[in-house]
Amino acid sequence: MKSSRGLISGFEKAFRLIGINNLHLHLMLLFVSCITMAPYLWALSTSLKRRIDVFTPVPMWIPRPVFFGNYPQVFSMAPFAIYLVNTIIVVAAILLAQVLTTTLAAYVFSRMKFRGSHILFALFLIQMLLPVHAIIVPNYLTMRSLKLLDTRLAVMLPFWASGYGTFLLRQAFRQVPRDFEDAALIDGCSALRFLFSVLVPLAKPTLIAFGLISVVTHWNDFFWPLVVTDSPRIRTLTIGLAMFVQQESGADWTLLMAATVFVTAPLMLLFLVFQRRFVESFMSAGIKG
């Protein structure tokens, strides 16, 4: 938290040194935000147009008339409802499993002392250094040996543990004074009860920050679900969108943009509703020295 505030304070001082006041700063941020949002707004606008209104001499940001018929047509051409259910199940199951495994692992590495703990923790974090594509083949062979190919479990199983999440929570748990734990143990509190009643509530901002990273990562994951799934009943939204684009061959931009907006809209709405909590969580989850 202190490091995040110091960084923000440093930016403010830098802006003052070059003569940029708060009004100019807000105008600059507004300009950058408009540039960032322009592609998504254009996709949304295109998804609400008729096919004949896509290519016009003058770009038309606000469709006239607004045409909602592209969305029902997209659902009639591909089972996006099934893709959405599969994605929600996969993302939610991965997040729940990661929270459980990373919480327990972080507690062990932060509060318990045993021989070789630092070496074991270093080995545990090696997975943070490995790119996902480097372990695609071993993971695929494992899923095949377990006869889990073309199942939701195959999409979820390799991500039920997270070195990054363990590292974040370990840093958060280490900020809690040891005296708290000693006092709780003297009063008869078990280690697991102390973990879930004291440490986890205190590390809530870190958990929220990691949860956001996990949801966004696995909602947008493409390559691994593509490798282990074959049937539409198991595919996630990203795979469904890619198949739909291939099916359309880029010919009908209104349908393609409608499908794209449908796939990305849940994350966008989630951020708009909880944006303040998102920012506070990431700032509070800063790694303290």
Give the pLDDT confidence of 109-143 residue by residue, as tens digits.
888 877 877 888 888 778 778 877 888 899 999 99
Contact assessment for residue 101 and residue 161, using Cβ atoms and an 8 Å cutoff: yes
pLDDT-derived band of residue 212, with 50, 70 and 90 as boundaries? confident
pLDDT computed for residue 103 by the predictor: 92
- Whether 24 is in a domain gets the answer yes
What are the tokens at 205? 């901002």
pLDDT computed for residue 289 by the predictor: 43
Q: Judge if 79 and 108 occupy the same domain.
A: yes
Q: What percent of the chain has pLDDT over 90?
A: 17
pLDDT computed for residue 86 by the predictor: 93
- Whether 289 is in a domain gets the answer no
Domain end point (choices 67, 97, 116): 67
Instruction: Report CA-CA distances (Å) from 284 to 2, 64, 231, 255.
Output: 9, 45, 42, 41
Instruction: Report CA-CA distances (Å) from 23 to 7, 18, 228, 268.
Output: 20, 14, 51, 27
pLDDT-derived band of residue 1, with 50, 70 and 90 as boundaries? very low
Give the pLDDT confidence of 49-69 residue by residue, as tens digits.
888 887 877 777 888 888 888
pLDDT computed for residue 152 by the predictor: 92
- Whether 39 is in a domain gets the answer yes
184 Cβ partners below 8 Å, 6+ apart? Answer: 193, 194, 198
Q: Judge if 157 and 241 occupy the same domain.
A: yes
Average pLDDT value for residue range 91-116: 89
Task: Give me the chain's average pLDDT, please.
Answer: 81
What are the tokens at 199? 């440490």
Q: Judge if 36 and 99 occupy the same domain.
A: no
pLDDT computed for residue 99 by the predictor: 93
Residue predicted with more confidence, 8 or 209: 209
Q: Judge if 9 and 146 occupy the same domain.
A: no
Q: Is 260 a residue whose pLDDT tops 50?
A: yes
- Whether 197 is in a domain gets the answer yes
Q: Is 3 a residue whose pLDDT tops 60?
A: no
Structural domain including 29 reads: 2-67
Count of domains in the chain? 2
Average pLDDT value for residue range 83-91: 93
Number of C-beta neighbours around residue 16 at 10 A: 12
Domain end point (choices 44, 67, 90): 67
Q: Is 270 a residue whose pLDDT tops 70?
A: yes
* pTM of the complete model: 0.80
Q: Which residues of 75-110 are buried (b: 16+ CB within 10 A; e: fewer)?
A: eeebebebbbebbeebbebbbebbbeebbebbbbbb
Q: Is 217 a residue whose pLDDT tops 70?
A: yes
- Which amino acid appears at position 197 of this protein? S
Residue 178: give its domain's CATH number.
Answer: 1.10.3720.10
- Whether 154 is in a domain gets the answer yes
pLDDT computed for residue 155 by the predictor: 92
pLDDT computed for residue 13 by the predictor: 59
Q: Judge if 197 and 118 occupy the same domain.
A: yes
Contact assessment for residue 212 and residue 271, using Cβ atoms and an 8 Å cutoff: no
Give the pLDDT confidence of 144-203 residue by residue, as tens digits.
999 999 899 999 999 998 888 888 888 888 888 887 777 877 777 787 888 888 888 888
Q: Judge if 43 and 124 occupy the same domain.
A: no
Give the pLDDT confidence of 244-255 residue by residue, as tens digits.
877 755 567 888
